[in-house]
Structure 1
Amino acid sequence: MITNKIKLRQVCLTFIAFTLAIKIIILPSLTASFADQSLWISAFINFSIDGATLFFILKMTDKFKGLSFYQILRENVGETLTKIIMFLYCVYFILKAYVPIMEQKSFIEISLYETTHVVFIFLPIFLIACFFSYKGIKTVGRLADLSVWFTLFAVTVLIALSSPIADFSNLLPLFKVPFSKVTAGSYNTQLWYFDSTYMLFFMGAFKEERLKKTKILLSYGAVAVITIIFFAVLYGEFGPLTPRQYFAPIKMGKYYLSLSNSGRIDYFAGFALAIVCVFAVTLPLVFATLCLSHTFNFKHKIIPCIIVNGFSAILFFFTQDFFYETFKLVQKYALFFMLFVAYTLPLCMLFFKKGRSKS
């Protein structure tokens, strides 16, 4: 059993602070490029799949009280198969971090007008990720406590500035877009979802409280609602031009007339999101490190941190100028693997025996 546990509140805030921030940079314009004004329906489909998986995992936390996902696997399928599964999740989390890190590079360069060489600006992100990976899940919880305020501030400012100038008739008729385009918008943006997988590795890591399932599901439901509203407001503001608004936080609200008198306060929202996204893109690497530490017997816990983040840094360094090509490559060759690991592997817990929490 994990003794250094985080609070249930921090699990909820991790979803709100980090998964929300990642979804409002490139994702809205990318979804609109496939689904047009039905981009919100594509997002709803993906959130529904993740929400259902999250509900299932939360039910499993009741079945396997106090046990981590690693302990559940080890008790039911043995040490060897458990290590193989943990390695699959390690690869999965590295892939999950890869495209958002590339996205974050472009976002920082554009929003902060950064021209310094990538080695000095973006590779330190992996040093931050290495530190968080070494400190573990408890540090993730503390970061969520702080970051959630930046995320909510940014989203509130952007929606408040854009709503008065948005023409929501751009979203009408609601169901005109062919369903094939809606599903294409869902399928081709899956890389920005898979949020329920985090809950697998929060199993046994947080203190039990009343109504835990309700609180976590409401938190993720809030992420879904806010994201869909954000998508709708963005499309209301830009209409058919939405697919060109690649970095929404620095595009939204700047045409609001009051800004000419008060100054570009929308920049503060963009800067806040840039800060939060640095932490958000490192989150999968923290879990990748945890999985790798369960796969091999390392002499020191810093070793898996260096391996995961060092490999990710090298991969990033050699591909950092090819975001679109990288996205298409991962989408084409890795998405089915990620779908299997995120949504199919957890179902094995249905067939496992109940275990007892071990101290």
Structure 2
Amino acid sequence: MARTDVLRAGDMLRGYRLLEDFRVVGAGLSEWTFAEQGGRIYFVKRFLSPTYPDDAAPGSPRTKARKRERCAAFEAHHRGIQVAMAPLTTYGGNLIATLDFFREGAKYYKVTEKVDLAGLAPGDVARLAFPAQLVLLKTVAHSLKILHDLKIVHSDLKPSNVLIKRTELGYTTKLIDFDSSYIVGTPPPPEEIVGTMTHYSPELVRYIQGAAHPGELTQASDIFALGLIYTEYLTGSLPPFDPAYPQAAIAALHGQRLRLATDRVPESVRDLVERMMLLDPAARPTVTQAHATLMRIRTTRTTPGRFPAPPRPPIPLRSPPAASGTPSGRPAAAPSTASGLRGKGLGIAGKRSKAPTEGTPEGPAPTARPRGPGLLGRLVSRIDERRSR
């Protein structure tokens, strides 16, 4: 058999025949390809870290022992989630859970179902008629409800982890990537959090900054991220907030109220999505409540229309509260909106003048990423301390 670090299209890997060479995923933490077994096509992910050190690997016995401990924890996490989701692991379901997980040589591999995508980005969804959008909102909520009923937090909800598939009747969604998932109240250590910062919840930001306990990370963290996704599906962009803040969660921590800036949906949907994006996790609806609300909506519209709404107060644009002794200086580059970022690297931009933004039919474009002097580090925990006084 071919060496696993140089696998190519046509090679065999644990009974799977690779159809393409491996290619890098996202921020470079893993690689992927497609493979065939028994007439079915599968998605195969190869993790670049951790790597298992065998006896011939370089390093001292102590170093190799530490690496093996990390690998054992990595295996336990993935197998634990796989076991918890086993009742849902069926080929063709709406939760694309792990079908196979194994180590070959030094590398770990995960196998899931391959999904044929419709190729719709959030901007494309925003141009659909509301009935088609409503179907997508319902199917995402239904999939997440199944997960939450098992006391599992997805922890990395974002548009790229909600695959849109074309069906005979329109579109449906498939929920993927449970690598960061955990049982309620048992998240990984803050320094091991990996995800996309644009869709972090406020409590996840506080946890990474050392200002929240693990028990505070519940299914409500997913609800905040889902509210952001719904906003993108309905407007084509994240909710508008003061561009002094790099992410929606940080804007919420500074007192911003996140709004769904469109009148193309019923008031009940607008109210639901805005409650999903509230700062207080306890004030957000559960996914069961969100799904039930969406299921009660009936519409026969076939083209986008307008749903009159009562006047709404503007989104407050506030400066960050003054904090004595807050470090300042020249920050690193603003975080990417697409790459996965780790742990303590979470940056918090300070107040600065607005950059010009382009509008959309639904309202102003959100969050042009600021440049210039800013605040980094543990600002979130300072905010929390001041509010508790």
TM-score normalised per structure 2: 0.21
TM-score normalised per structure 1: 0.23
Indicate the structure (1 or 2) with the bigger Cα radius of gyration: 2
Comparing both chains, which one has the higher relative contact order based on Cα–Cα distances under 8 Å and sequence gaps of 6 or more?
1
Structure (1/2) with the larger helix percentage: 1
